Structure 1
Amino acid sequence: MVRLSDPLRIGDVTVPNRLYRAPLLECAGNGDDAVDRLIDHLEPAAASGAGLVCQGATIVRDEGGCAAPGMTRVHDPDFVSRLGRLTDRLHEYGTTVAIQLEHGGLRSMETWHAGYRDEHPDLRQLAVSRPPALLRALDRLGFLGYDPHVLTTAEVYDLADDFGRAAGHAADAGYDLIHLAGANMGIVHQFLSPFYNRRDDEFGDGVRFLEVVHDAVRDHAGDVPLLTKVPAETAAPPVVRRRLSRADAVEICRRLDGTGYDALVPVSGSVFWDMSIVRGRFPARAWRDEGFREGYAEAFGGRLRAGLVALANRVQARWYDFDPAWNADLCRSVRDAVSVPVCCEGGIRERPRIDRLLGDACDMVGMARPFYAEPELPARLLADAEASAVCASCNNCAVPQVTGAPGVCRTPAVLEEVGRLRKAGAYDRDS
């Protein structure tokens, strides 16, 4: 029987237990206070016992590629060296630390954020292929703005090397693992997906890009363990016929196991950046908040368009309702097919469910949004076999991030419960 408190070997690194803080948007940027802001976000998870703490998606190039405001860039070795203060701090608690590397490609702010496009009129999206017809239609309607630069074969190799260089800088700064943002419509996902990838060179096989990234990471960062998310586009709308099936995702994972990836994170979602990746209730409080109205208007190109986005958000919330542990079946299929650890995240909230998943569907369990409400959540989950996260999956934490606001819980009932638990000493590790 696998227990949550059991250590796990990933590559040459031993993770002290099987609970991890999954990557989230920290919105820390690259300013003078960036390291302190990251410490504020990540230290509570380490201090409360998480076996692995994953820093959220960080961009491997010096311009473009950010999927949301305030994302941190890790192209500059001088800046990344300052992050050694973060890894040193987290290591004091005995945890392991990962950094997630990302480039948004067609999902970048230069596509969807109207204000950012106005400020950067010459910035083009990096694209695997010409954008699909459905996305071009949204461009013609004015909701998105595409001026893509389709990568040449040589430029794909350059991009893979940028991932490798960023991994090398991170390893030098003390990060224990490298985590690739392989899903949620980032550029790695775009290489893997037949919806996006219509190339006629070697990278028409999207796994080839991940193979080249693996080699680049090994060249720059040595044997630092490497893991990636792998998408199945099973939540895509029926009109999208070219997409990744569950069988496709399992086969991709099998190939990456053979390539030398040290762990895999299978996830299901849509081909679009929508609520299939943050399933739950419509975030009515976030959309009503007057403090964010101007930010929404700037992001989406006016109040009317922001209102239409909110309407689409409401429809998606009904279409992609919350489903506990929605990636478990996919993870189970992958675990049966590979020899490396499989990590499961997405809709996991209760310790009893975690105990059932471990050793069956996966080898390690991660949570993301619940950490916005409970930064010290591991203390409760590790100590109490009946504990549940108080996160209501309402997504009021996520929507304001399009304005650059930090990811924090904004739901009064949830915050009241957190306060009650704190008063009761539930987050005291010695209690």
Structure 2
Amino acid sequence: MLGPQLESSVTVGGRPIRNRLYRAPLLECAGNGPEAVETLIDELEPAAASGAGLIHQGATIVREAGGCAAPGMTRVADSGFVERLEELTEAVHAHGSAIAIQLEYGGLRSMEVWHAGYRRSNPGLEQLVVSRPPWILRSLDRVGFLDLNPRVMDTDEVEALAADFGRAAARAVEAGYDMIHLAGANMGIIQQFLSPFYNRREDEFGIDPEVGSGVRFLERVHEEIRDRAGDVPLITKVPSEAAAPAPLQPRLSDADAIRTAARLDSIGYDGVVPVRCSVFWDMSIVRGAFPARAWRDPTLKEGYREAFGSRTRATAVAAGNWLQSRRYDREPGWNADLARRVRSRVDIPVFLEGGLRERAELDSYLGDAADLVGMGRPFYAEPRLPARLLDGPADTRAVCEDCNNCAVAQAAGASGNCRTPSVLEEAGALRKRGAYDRTGNERDDGDPTE
């Protein structure tokens, strides 16, 4: 019997989604300035206009200060600003798509830890941490690559942070967002609570021995969101840290991730996104080639110096980036086997992303490893990629080459877009041939390939 196809509808937490293709969360680098909402519309509406069933707005910060993992991230702590985001949700809804907002707080991944220029501008900003930082981060602090000024949260402060996630979700629902997506991986504060590499707490927010993770924080966030935002569909990334180098222990195993997903299903989460990552924010997140073009771009050199403190340190970071690229080769659907195992244990939709590029791959995972399938980086080169995937044959493939030139440039404060001429040339040729045209109510939102 033929399983669900990309065009098949699906329901998440009672919310119908017109098809199973979603734009995964990315850094839109919109900030909170006067042009922020228009920037978000420019970034996200094309995916809806070209047919994606669900659009994710990338990581947004739940507090007014601290917690940003990269330059240009948007904050959703101010009610007045979030009200303006109704323009974005209305633009997406006009095309029949749903929109989710991903809520985040950085903790030890925050700019106040790693970005030299930001630290100089905010010298008194402490880092809220789950426990004392691991030895390897303390070592990097001693040699000057990081600047640790941590404050371990007491139980009341953890409760306050969970409440901030709830407040942010309530504001988002009022602005018309259809779904809340928690940034539970990529070394954000939620992963730090889940991970035994970071979490050595002795209160209720420590590691649950029955699950193998610090799942209690996600339970409290769930309670706060339900109390403040009602029955809005709620999903979260669920990390396995199996991609980390073997000496880095203890860490979340695949089995821990599966047990965590099952617990989240039992307490009322509406979907999970299983991902394999490391214990650091490294190339386990964006597997593929070393982004040589981005590191050599003369227009970005000053941004790297500002971020890492000097040209010498920026060169050292680039060398580490190269070594990581040797370890984390790209593979199609690198989260698929973990997602498949999770899906066999839960009764809620499983979202799959990571290395998906071809229409045939997407269809093959549906009904097997996942209920919805998504892409992220390919949208930088092809904002209207869904038009080709939904209307094309099985061998239709995104033009993205997994070169990562889009990703590393964001450390220098650059906006998220494709920087590889061969990829942009191919996307431009497709546009000229009408590959991104669809009938229906859509606007001309422009395209970086022109």
Give yes or no for TM over 0.5. Answer: yes
Alignment of 1:18-33 (within 5 A): 18-33=20-35
The equivalent of 1:240 in structure 2 is 248
The equivalent of 1:223 in structure 2 is 231
Cα drift, residue 430 of structure 1: 3.7
The equivalent of 1:50 in structure 2 is 52
Distance in 1 separating the partners of 2:164 and 2:397: 40
**Count of aligned pairs between the two proteins:** 431
Distance in 1 separating the partners of 2:190 and 2:322: 28
Q: 2:267 matched to 1:265?
A: no
Distance in 2 separating the partners of 1:234 and 1:387: 31
Alignment of 1:340-355 (within 5 A): 340-355=348-363
Q: 2:375 matched to 1:373?
A: no
Residue 126 of structure 1 aligns with an amino acid whose one-letter code is L
Alignment of 1:169-248 (within 5 A): 169-205=171-207, 206-248=214-256
Distance in 2 separating the partners of 1:313 and 1:194: 25
Distance in 2 separating the partners of 1:109 and 1:39: 26
The equivalent of 2:409 in structure 1 is 400
What secondary structure is seen at the aligned counterpart in 1 of 2:301?
helix
Distance in 2 separating the partners of 1:238 and 1:220: 41
What secondary structure is seen at the aligned counterpart in 2 of 1:398?
helix
What secondary structure is seen at the aligned counterpart in 2 of 1:366?
strand
Distance in 2 separating the partners of 1:234 and 1:350: 25
In structure 2, the gaps of 5 or more residues are: 208-213, 441-450
Distance in 2 separating the partners of 1:331 and 1:86: 31
Residue 20 of structure 1 aligns with an amino acid whose one-letter code is Y
Distance in 2 separating the partners of 1:408 and 1:164: 31
The equivalent of 1:305 in structure 2 is 313
- Alpha-carbon RMSD across the aligned residues, in angstroms, is 0.8
Residue 65 of structure 2 aligns with an amino acid whose one-letter code is E
What secondary structure is seen at the aligned counterpart in 1 of 2:299?
helix
Cα drift, residue 36 of structure 1: 0.3
The equivalent of 1:143 in structure 2 is 145
Pick one of 247, 262, 266 that aligns with 1:254. 262
Pick one of 418, 426, 445 that aligns with 1:409. 418
Q: 2:341 matched to 1:333?
A: yes
Cα drift, residue 238 of structure 1: 1.1
In structure 1, the gaps of 5 or more residues are: none
What secondary structure is seen at the aligned counterpart in 2 of 1:329?
helix
Residue 25 of structure 1 aligns with an amino acid whose one-letter code is L
Distance in 1 separating the partners of 2:284 and 2:319: 16
Distance in 2 separating the partners of 1:323 and 1:146: 35
Cα drift, residue 225 of structure 1: 0.3
Residue 275 of structure 2 aligns with an amino acid whose one-letter code is V
Q: TM-score, normalised by structure 2?
A: 0.95
For each residue in 1:337-391, what CA deviation from the matched residue of structure 2 results, as whole angstroms up to 9, or x when unmatched?
0000000000000000111000000000010000001000000000013210000
Cα drift, residue 3 of structure 1: 0.9
The equivalent of 1:5 in structure 2 is 7
Residue 428 of structure 1 aligns with an amino acid whose one-letter code is D
What secondary structure is seen at the aligned counterpart in 2 of 1:204?
coil
Structure 1 outlier segments of 4+, above 4 Å? none
Cα drift, residue 400 of structure 1: 1.1
Cα drift, residue 404 of structure 1: 1.4
For each residue in 1:79-114, what CA deviation from the matched residue of structure 2 results, as whole angstroms up to 9, or x when unmatched?
101000110111000000000000000000000000
Residue 83 of structure 2 aligns with an amino acid whose one-letter code is S
Distance in 1 separating the partners of 2:24 and 2:8: 18
Distance in 2 separating the partners of 1:387 and 1:424: 15
What secondary structure is seen at the aligned counterpart in 2 of 1:41?
helix
Cα drift, residue 323 of structure 1: 1.1
Pick one of 390, 411, 431 that aligns with 1:422. 431
